[in-house]
Amino acid sequence: MEQELYIFNTLTRTKEKFEPIHPGRVGLYVCGPTVYSDVHLGNCRTFISFDLIYRYLLHLGYKVRYVRNITDAGHLEGDRDEGDDKFAKKAKLEQLEPMEIVQKYTLGFHDVMREFNLLPPSIEPTATGHIGEQIEMIKEIISNGYAYEINGTVYFDVEKYSKEFPYGQLTNRKLEDLLEGTRELSGQDEKRGRLDFALWIAAKPETLMKWNSPWGWGFPGWHIECSAMSSKYLGETFDIHGGGMDLQATHHTNEIAQSQACNHKSPVKYWMHTNMLTVNGVRMSKTAGNGFLPGELFTGNHPLLEKGYNPMSVRFFMMQTHYRSTLDFSNEALQASEKGYARLVAAIKTLENLKASASSTSNIKELEKACYDAMNDDFNAPILVASLFEGVRIINSVNDSKETITADDLLLLKKTMHSFVFGILGLKSETSNSSSDKALQGAMEVILNIRKDIKEKKDFVASDKLRDDLNKHNIIIKDTKDGPVWEIPE
Ligand code: AMP
Ligand code: ZN
């Protein structure tokens, strides 16, 4: 089925029809975590939102190269190159090597992503693994005249750049407004312009993570890593770049400027930004100290939590708000999601035992279309969830003999519920995704194919024996006009 997908593009502030640069293929880059501490639930919201987007693009049949980086160097405490290196500070605190900090929190991040059932990206590049690419890019920006070096630090010249290209497009702000929001330069500042930012930062004697470069020992600025890694793996212009909304004003604005100054091209066709997870209206963040960790959420071991919640209920909670709206955390909302999710999973189990009739009282094709329409409208998961609950209503009504469904519609209903709930929303029930379940599914496919071959050779005695033998193991095969299906009655 051909689907027309619309995406809200931050760059144009409109929903645009999605047309990939290369038909059938999508390049997707998402800013990954800064691995100097555990990821909090807010970070998870952003990664889960892009997992939904990745899953839907795959479902539509696109060949997606999904790059999500690991920031393991260069992220200073201030957005604009002030403050300490986050890794060095943590390394001192925990008395570890900076790379031990990186390893510890990268592993922790992967564990959390697995708990929430995220698909791994196609490439997960690290900033420290791409220092050479970052240096090359900085050299090119200098030779194109958009950066300058002072005492071993290289600054991007925003004022010069903004004479030729719009700076601040992503947040729709003019240079004058941006200048107003920054402090005056003092005598201590090396940089020429208030908005200039560092591409390369000279090492101080105490700097732990440093590399040699044409400008001496130092380390890359935070913004350049994403420009270098995205262009390396996805090309100078690629389809979708995502991250949290907090990255729009500085990190992504500077990514656009760097790529434009280096490659003479705007790097991204569709910019996508997720809104923030808040706690009592305040953005969850590491610095605000209101960021509870997924582990605390699962065990309930935090003063803000009334009890523990399982990862799938939390994922479902996140799916009930559109990714561009803020999502406020509360125990009541999570408990409501827990109940809703249990109802959804129970209905999917019931679906396996529904009996077909001669006619349908509900229009399942329309239900399927409503699910696609929701996702095609800028990945509107809450509207999708509402349609899936219409599916739940139909399942329960058929089960209670208040409604009827044909065999064809039953198959379509199963396909729709399974692909949207498990494949696209990325939820799993204990029984639907276990490895033994998957093995059984695979084995049954093999058996049904053998049975088909036997029947084609008109050996009906053997095919009936196969069916009866499976029956003895409580596996029922039914021949429908769309081919054989199997089930295990409870
Ligand atoms: P960081 O590890 O701080 O670089 O953040 C990783 C990702 O999480 C970025 O895309 C941020 O924009 C995103 N993020 C940070 N805080 C929140 C929050 N409270 N809600 C949603 N996303 C967030
Ligand atoms: Zn980034």
- Give distance in angstroms: CA of 409 to centre of ligand 1: 42
Tokens of 288: 């605000």
Are 65 and 122 within 8 A, CB to CB? yes
Mean pLDDT of the region 82-111: 87
The closest alpha carbon to 57, from 121, 105, 134, belongs to 121
Tokens of 143: 């030779």
Q: Which domains does the chain have, with CATH numbers?
A: 18-274 (3.40.50.620), 278-424 (1.10.730), 435-487 (no CATH)
Instruction: Place 487 in a pLDDT band, splitting at 50, 70 and 90.
Output: low
**Tell me, what amino acid is at 430?**
E
31 lines ligand 1 (CB under 6 A): yes
374 lines ligand 1 (CB under 6 A): no
Helix (DSSP H) and strand (DSSP E) numbers for the chain: 16, 15
Digit-coded pLDDT (tens) for 45-85: 999 999 999 999 999 999 999 999 999 987 776 555 566 67
For residue 61, count other CB atoms closer than 10 A to its CB: 11
Instruction: Place 282 in a pLDDT band, splitting at 50, 70 and 90.
Output: very high
Nearest C-alpha to atom 17 of ligand 1 is from which residue? 42
246 lines ligand 1 (CB under 6 A): yes
Would the pLDDT of 482 be above 60? no
- Give distance in angstroms: CA of 295 to centre of ligand 1: 17
Instruction: Place 488 in a pLDDT band, splitting at 50, 70 and 90.
Output: low
Name the least confident of 106-115, 139-148, 203-212, 466-475. 466-475
330/308 Cα distance (integer angstroms): 13
Digit-coded pLDDT (tens) for 340-383: 999 999 999 999 999 999 999 999 999 999 999 999 999 999 99
- What is the position in ligand 1's atom list of the atom closest to the CA of 327? 20
Tokens 């200048």 identify what position? Answer: 179
Give the pLDDT score at 86.
Answer: 81
Q: Give the angle subtended at the CA of 417 by the CAs of 412 and 422, to the nearest 5°.
A: 135
Determine whether 195 is exposed, middle or buried from the number of CB atoms within 10 Å of its CB (0-12, 13-18, 19+).
buried
173/249 Cα distance (integer angstroms): 9
